[in-house]
Amino acid sequence: MSFSKQDMARRAAAEIPAGSIVNLGIGLPTLCADYLPEGHAFLHSENGLLGMGPFPFEGDEHPQLINAGKQTVTVLPGGSTFDSAASFAMIRGGHVDLAILGAMQVSAAGDLANWAVPGGKVMGIGGAMDLATGCRRVIAIMQHATREGEHKLVARCTYPLTATAVVARVITELGVFDPVGDGFRVVELAPGVERAQVAALTGAPLL
Amino acid sequence: MSTGRHHHKVRDSVAAALDGLDSGMTVMVGGFGLCGNAEALIAGVIARGARDLTLVSNNAGAMGKGLATWLRAGIVRKVICSYLGSNEDLHTRMAAGTLEVEVTPQGTLAERMRAAGAGIPAFYTPTGVGTVVEEGKEVKVIDGRRYLLERALPADFALVRARKADRFGNLRFFRTARNFSPVMATAARTTVVEADELVEVGAIDPDDVHLPGLYVHRVVHVPAHEDPIEFRTVRPRPAADGAAGGVA
């Protein structure tokens, strides 16, 4: 047993305090929105939207209302739109309380690698470095290891870094872990997951 | 009496609006992917025949549309962007070495424009510290934290799309089509606006102006646009008097 993707998203959503400003990264983090009670938090999208709502009903989609993943979205009552400089000033100025981001590697020191695979196609940086550096708290949500069993929670990142010492908590299919410098502190294990199993799939000590 | 830069801004054609946009120039083009593109001005630059351009854009097009048409036409020498994503035209030319690509964090890209428009030659930011973005840049420790020195990014032209413009160039944007357009307008020597709707001076309340007309030099009225959607994501509509959802 382990967490499903939906379980991971639900567990990450539980980290979102009521009344907070949250940026959800592209991909799995976006699922967290499905587990937030209505009005619980304000979702920020770095292309210039605060108060982002769910996907529109069929036929209501508008090409000029999208999220940072370029998906059609909606804006909730109380929402606002603004330009990119203002949007990133919000992020860089520490006004966004929490970022939940996907990750390729997280180190025991909280370093984050989530924008490029060595030797792979360069997709670009986008808002990743700004979000990781500027948001007040950063949570990574990711698979615990690659399909080939390579560690993704590591002693030191080998992939190109996004930011150093920024990740406060990691949520994987195996549980919840905090990078604390010399290893990962086990906050909780997914149902049926054994500590030894996690240790074998983690590239740094479990504490 | 001489005529200032803010005398008659409305142009009756795209070609006239792009007068002076010549080969070798740095051109900023608003839009987040294909959202909020100045479609007629983008096409107009190809028609004009300008080449060897340095293009500043968050994505430089997508799906072969928007600014990807510039890449296909071979009129761009260098791209400054934050995200390539699935823009195959950009990937293939970058891999082939026929196009120089500078990838910048998105917030740094926006702030470099803001700085250029606000008379700030460079600024310190923590974004990119300890990453490849730091390479070749001055690092300064301020109150115990490391920062990179990033330089302002000005341009010869900015090509932007607005929902509504008045004849002085006061602009309003729609939803997330605003993105980089206002800040690009501040950073460029000449800003050209493609407006969905053109109204008389005074028709936009001063408190409702998103971008004051002093940043705008030319306006061309283009009522029809393709406005492609990159990722159409929707929910099924509930059968009757359904649950409250977001508003478009």
C-alpha A92/C-alpha B193 separation (Å) is 29
- Whole-number pLDDT of residue B248: 57
Q: Which residues pair with A53 in a beta bridge?
A: A74
Count of domains forming chain B:
1
- The Cα diameter of chain A in Å comes to 52
Taking an 8 Å cut-off on Cβ atoms, the answer to whether A57 and B182 are in contact is no
SS3 B12: coil
The answer to whether position B232 is within a domain reads no
Exactly one of A46, A61, A173, A188 is catalytic; which is it? A46
The answer to whether position B142 is within a domain reads no
Q: Which two tokens stand for residue B37?
A: 């593109």
Map out the domains of chain A as residue ranges.
5-200
| Residue of A83, A157, A159 to mutate, interface with B, max B Cβ within 10 Å | A83
The answer to whether position B165 is within a domain reads yes
Query: How large a percentage of chain B has pLDDT more than 90?
Result: 92
Identify the closest residue of chain B to A122 by CA–CA distance. Answer: B84
- Whole-number pLDDT of residue A105: 98
Residue A41 burial (C-beta neighbours within 10 Å; 0-12, 13-18, 19+): buried
C-alpha B94/C-alpha B97 separation (Å) is 5
The enclosing domain of B211 has a CATH number of: 3.40.1080.10
Q: Residue B236: what are its φ and ψ, rounded to 5°? A: -65, 140
Task: Give per-residue pLDDT as tens, A24-82.
Answer: 998 899 999 999 999 999 999 999 999 999 999 999 999 999 999 999 999 999 999 99
Confidence of residue B7 (pLDDT cuts 50, 70, 90): confident
- Whole-number pLDDT of residue B223: 97
Which of B94, B107, B248 is the closest to A130 by Cβ? B107
Correct CATH for A5-200 of 3.40.1080.10, 3.30.70.20, 1.10.357.10, 3.30.565.10: 3.40.1080.10
Task: Give per-residue pLDDT as tens, A183-194.
Answer: 999 999 999 999
Cβ A23 vs Cβ B204: under 8 Å: no
What is chain B's mean pLDDT, rounded? Answer: 95
Is residue A46 annotated as part of the catalytic site, yes or no?
Answer: yes
Whether the pLDDT of residue B243 is over 60: the answer is no
Taking an 8 Å cut-off on Cβ atoms, the answer to whether A92 and B127 are in contact is yes
Task: Give per-residue pLDDT as tens, B125-142.
Answer: 999 999 999 999 999 999
Kindly state whether A118 is in contact with chain B, defined as any CB-CB distance less than 8 angstroms.
no
C-alpha B147/C-alpha B139 separation (Å) is 6
Taking an 8 Å cut-off on Cβ atoms, the answer to whether A134 and B107 are in contact is yes
Taking the CB of residue A132, how many other CB atoms lie within 10 A of it? 30
Which of A64, A88, A160 is the closest to B110 by Cβ? A88
Residue A197 burial (C-beta neighbours within 10 Å; 0-12, 13-18, 19+): middle
C-alpha A43/C-alpha A76 separation (Å) is 10
The answer to whether position B244 is within a domain reads no
Taking an 8 Å cut-off on Cβ atoms, the answer to whether A60 and B103 are in contact is no
A 32-91 → B contacts, CB under 8 A: 45-49, 52-77, 81-85, 87-89, 91
Taking the CB of residue A191, how many other CB atoms lie within 10 A of it? 10
- Whole-number pLDDT of residue B1: 64
Q: Nearest Cα to B195, choosing from B159, B161, B157?
A: B161
Task: Give per-residue pLDDT as tens, B164-217.
Answer: 999 999 999 999 999 999 999 999 999 999 999 999 999 999 999 999 999 999
Whether the pLDDT of residue B245 is over 80: the answer is no
Query: How large a percentage of chain A has pLDDT more than 90?
Result: 95
The answer to whether position B139 is within a domain reads no
A 155-184 → B contacts, CB under 8 A: 160-164
- Whole-number pLDDT of residue A120: 87
Q: Nearest Cα to B178, choosing from A198, A29, A82?
A: A82
Which residues on A lie below 8 Å from B238 (Cβ)? 57
C-alpha B158/C-alpha B96 separation (Å) is 28
Mean pLDDT, residues B18-41:
98
Taking an 8 Å cut-off on Cβ atoms, the answer to whether B230 and A81 are in contact is no
What domain range is B100 assigned to?
Answer: 10-121+152-221
Whether the pLDDT of residue B242 is over 60: the answer is no
Which of B114, B130, B180 is the closest to A161 by Cβ? B130
For every residue of B108-140, DSSP letters joined together read HHHHHHHHHHTT--EEEESTTTTSGGGTTS-EE
The answer to whether position B157 is within a domain reads yes
DSSP alpha helices (H): ranges in B55-209? 68-73, 88-96, 106-117, 181-187
The answer to whether position B180 is within a domain reads yes
The answer to whether position B96 is within a domain reads yes
Going by their DSSP bridges, the two strands A20-24 and A41-45 should be labelled as parallel
Task: Give per-residue pLDDT as tens, B88-110.
Answer: 999 999 999 999 999 999 999 99
Whether the pLDDT of residue B241 is over 90: the answer is no
